[in-house]
Chain A
Amino acid sequence: MDFINEFLQNVFGNLANFDWRQVVMWLIGAILIYLAVKKEMEPTLLLPMGFGAILLNLPMSGALEPIEVLYNAGIANDLFPLLLFVGIGAMIDFTPLLSNPKLMLFGAAAQFGIFFTFTMASFIPLFELHDAASIAIIGAADGPTSIKVANSLGTQFAGSIAVAAYSYMALVPVIIPPVVKLVTTKKERQIRMAYSTTQVKQSTKILFPILVTIVAGCIAPEAASLIGFLMFGNLIRECGVLGSLSETAQKVLANLITLFLGITIAFQMQAEKFVKLETFIIIGLGLVAFIFDIIGGVMFAKFINLFSKNKVNPMIGAAGISAFPMASRVVHKMGLEEDPQNFLLMHAAGANVAGQISSAIAGGLILSFML
């Protein structure tokens, strides 16, 4: 009998370390994998995060140690998000924005949700001010910015924030249409915008990332790393002499970092940190941030229309959220649904890349305020 007991203790003893919250994390991991595989929602991140959530929530998981090494090497010091920004910068074509600079305003307006959510979160006694700021940055609609700000501010909710940020980015096609329809009329959505553009010279495209880095970095020094890495990637793309580096940044670097980023974020998804009331509140506040980003962009476009002779389709404001390129595609599609001859893609893409810059600036400003 003792032999059997010893056998059971030695072979199955670890099962005694089970915690019901770990099973909840398995379910969350399974849902993330399902969304990634079946619904193709941000699969490059949701799948590693989902698997990581399962892997790290095995009782006494031996994967904890190597993933903690990765976490300390790549996320705790912001390295992974910043390197990913190099890849994202190399993927972005700023031509639609450079040919119509005023679209930059819509990127700025669509960050309203961040600051609105900051205030909303500060009404909840469960969150300290730095937690509220970290939660609000979900509204940046930009994973690397959310991770960078949450980590820099040292919030304990970094895992929930990353999950919410990437989940809502994946849900942009579901979130934008009803919110836009709520705050616009059919007539407004049918506004056509003329597509005439100034020719953008190669030299302008080269100088633009340098200009943005200097301006944003001087005014909001905490934004220098986010904006700087984003613009570095773009400079590699546009300079015309680093084709292979640009291609590497867009594909190999971005894929490699994404691969490790997802599973490393899961380090913050350990049951004892994740399964609590605050997580659900954070997920709710993330949705608030996205909704008010969209409303901010749309209402700003409507405000511009009060004074402008050339009317702007207010849906362009919704493309000002950072989720690139999905937000612009959704707005373009909505425009075509309202009027099959209304092609908004270039305007929406301009606002969308502006949102990418503005969200990094917003992240930098929040860090400047809080640190």
Chain B
Amino acid sequence: MGYWEMVGGNVIQSLKYMLFGMAGIFVITAIIIAGMVLLNKAMAGKPKNTSEE
């Protein structure tokens, strides 16, 4: 069995998972960021600068 026949399937699968994985992380991250922004707005009101406190 040649080298590519041995690893080819795994390499293609892992490349697919790399794409899915990074896309998945950024999608989840985007949702969490949106949640954080909404939470901050809902709970804290207007943004304040710490130096003003």
Contacts and interface: CB of A to CB of B under 8 A. Distances in A.
Interface residues of B, number: 35
B7 A118 contact: no
Interface string A104-145: 110110011011101101111101110011000000000000
Interface in B1-29: 3, 6-7, 10-11, 13-15, 17-18, 20-22, 24-29
Contacts of B24: 219-220, 361, 365
Contacts of B14: 115, 118-119, 121-122, 129, 132-133
Contacts of B20: 365, 369
B28 A118 contact: no
Interface string B24-41: 111111011101110110
A221 B3 CA distance: 35
Contacts of B43: 201, 203-204, 207
Nearest to A125: B6
Given A108-B26, A362-B25, 12 more contacts: A104-B32, A111-B25, A119-B14, A125-B7, A129-B13, A133-B17, A196-B50, A198-B47, A204-B39, A219-B28, A366-B17, A366-B21
A203 B39 CA distance: 9
B10 A197 contact: no
Interface string A188-226: 000000011111110110011001100110011000000
The residue in B22, B32, B39 that gathers the most chain A C-beta atoms within 10 A of its C-beta is B32
A33 interface: no
A358 B3 contact: no
A125 B3 contact: yes
Contacts of B48: 198-199
A357 interface: yes
B interface secondary structure, majority: helix
Interface residues of A, number: 50
Interface of B: 3, 6-7, 10-11, 13-15, 17-18, 20-22, 24-29, 31-33, 35-37, 39-40, 43-44, 47-51, 53
Contact of B22 (A104, A115, A203, A208): A115
Contacts of A211: 32, 35-36, 39
The residue in A102, A127, A129 that gathers the most chain B C-beta atoms within 10 A of its C-beta is A129
Contact of A199 (B28, B31, B53): B53
Q: Which 5 pairs, one residue from A and one from B, show the smallest C-beta to C-beta distance?
A: A115-B18, A101-B36, A122-B10, A122-B14, A198-B47
A358 B26 CA distance: 9
A98 interface: yes
Contacts of B47: 198-199
A200 B40 contact: yes
A369 B13 CA distance: 10
Contacts of A111: 21-22, 25
Nearest to B39: A204
A240 B6 CA distance: 56
A361 B49 CA distance: 31
B24 to A, nearest CB: 5
Nearest to A195: B50
B21 A216 contact: no
Contacts of B3: 125
Contacts of A107: 29
